[in-house]
Amino acid sequence: MKNYEILKNYCKKMFLVGSGNFWYESGIVGDDSSWYYKIYSRTLFSIYGFMTILEIMAAIFGDFPGDEKRDSVTFAVSHTIVMLKIFSVVSNKGLVKTMNKNMVKICEAYEEPTLMAAKYRIVRINVLAYFSVVYGSAACFVFEGIRKLNAGSHFVTVVTYYPSFEDDSIFGIIFRIFTTVILFLMLMTMIVSVDSFTMAYLIMYKYKFITLRHYFEGLTEEFYKMNSVNPRLAADKLTNGLVEGIIMHKEILRMAKDIDQAFGTVIALQLLQSSGSAVSLLLQIALSDQLTFVASMKIIFFVVALFFLLGLFLCNAGEITYQASLLSDAIFFCGWHVSKWQAPPQRSLRRLVLLAVTQSQRPLVMKAFKMIELSYGTFLQVLRGTYSVFALFYAQNK
């Protein structure tokens, strides 16, 4: 499946969850300017925002037992970050439309079916794995709420300022069930419109460099076959191919700035959420002697989801840097040094190779906010830093 189908399917799902139409072609996805869609979208996001405000109020002013108070803080912080991530993507809808068009068009003529199949398989596996972890965590919150109900308390998943802990009225029960449904809807919007979309973009961008490298390798293979038969034609084809490759490379590099602008906030917020929330959640497991198995599992799933997503972001960004670094060798060994025919000076093979290699040797390091490097090293630093802070707080509390 090529980028066109992947991105179009993503945009259709984003439209369904209320985020709007991000597709660059009219009449394909839907009309997000219609009055009924605006009502649907604004109502949905207003409910998300209202629930998040109630969670923040519960964390600051609510009078709840220890476990529900901790959950209120966890949800308040996490859902505030989720709302910021969603709005950061939605606010860049025009840019994302342009990026979708560029992601489809650049190198489209040289995308190999086997390579595209591998890319689609990786995207699919990562999305399904992240979906399973996120909804596994949410399911554990529901199971814990059911356990509390069977133990004589009340059903609760999302802790909000209303209803209070003592409120077991029919309206309180209905509102708790309602917030649980909204939680699952919000998670779907988060997964489709933000997290998996950003992850898929990084993977597709990585495969642009792989496609371009295969293009240069195919150019080299074709040159060596033709050079022994018709050196002049071989040199001309190699020269023209190098020019086209250099243009595609410039277009791919230009996309890095757009990705930073569209998704840099998402990745930076995820980095803060993963490191900060993980410390709090791990301390809950380490310092509490009354956690049930389901309660422990919901925390573990939550931590795994946070770091799994961060790992997808940072490791795929680091893979982009690695794949981009392989281009220089593919260009340099294109066969220019064995050519018996040289094109006119203005299109000299040597000059073109020098230009292309110089351009490809500039390290492409993906960054968020032009400050935070997105790489394997950053992911390991976050893991080590999170464990160090957890160990420090754990030692103090012990």
The yes-or-no verdict on residue 69 having pLDDT over 70 is: yes
Q: For the chain, first and last CA: distance in Å?
A: 54
CB contact set of 182 (below 8 Å; sequence gap of 6+): 47, 48, 51, 158
Q: Please write the tens of the pLDDT for every residue from 161-195.
A: 999 998 989 999 999 999 999 999 999 999 999 99
Q: What distance in Å separates the CA atoms of residue 330 and residue 334, rounded to the nearest whole number?
A: 7
pLDDT of residue 346: 45
* Cis peptide, bond prior to residue 345, ω within 30 of zero: no
What residue segments make up the domains of the chain, in order of their start? 3-397
Q: What distance in Å separates the CA atoms of residue 364 and residue 22, rounded to the nearest whole number?
A: 27
> How far, CA to CA in Å, does 238 sit from each of 9, 244, 246, 275, 354?
37, 10, 12, 49, 14
The yes-or-no verdict on residue 324 having pLDDT over 90 is: yes
pLDDT of residue 347: 56
CB contact set of 152 (below 8 Å; sequence gap of 6+): none
Instruction: Check residue 364 and give left, alpha or beta (phi > 0: left; psi -120 to 50: alpha).
Output: beta
Q: Please write the tens of the pLDDT for every residue from 373-395.
A: 888 888 888 888 888 877 877 77
Structure tokens at 126: 């990562």
Beta-strand ranges (E) seen in 10-122 are: none
**What pairs with residue 372 in β-bridges?**
368
**What letter represents residue 351's amino acid?**
R
pLDDT of residue 202: 95
- The structure's pTM equals 0.93
State residue 365 phi and psi, 5-degree precision: -110, 115
Q: Please write the tens of the pLDDT for every residue from 138-158.
A: 999 999 999 988 888 889 999
pLDDT of residue 228: 82
Q: What is the mean pLDDT of residues 221-231?
A: 86
CB contact set of 105 (below 8 Å; sequence gap of 6+): none
CB contact set of 106 (below 8 Å; sequence gap of 6+): 208, 248, 251, 252, 255
Sole residue written with tokens 């390991």: 380
Count of residues for the chain? 398
**What pairs with residue 373 in β-bridges?**
367
Q: What is the mean pLDDT of residues 242-260?
A: 91
Name the band, by pLDDT with cuts 50, 70 and 90, for residue 226.
confident
Give the residue, 281 or 96, on which the prediction is more confident. Answer: 96
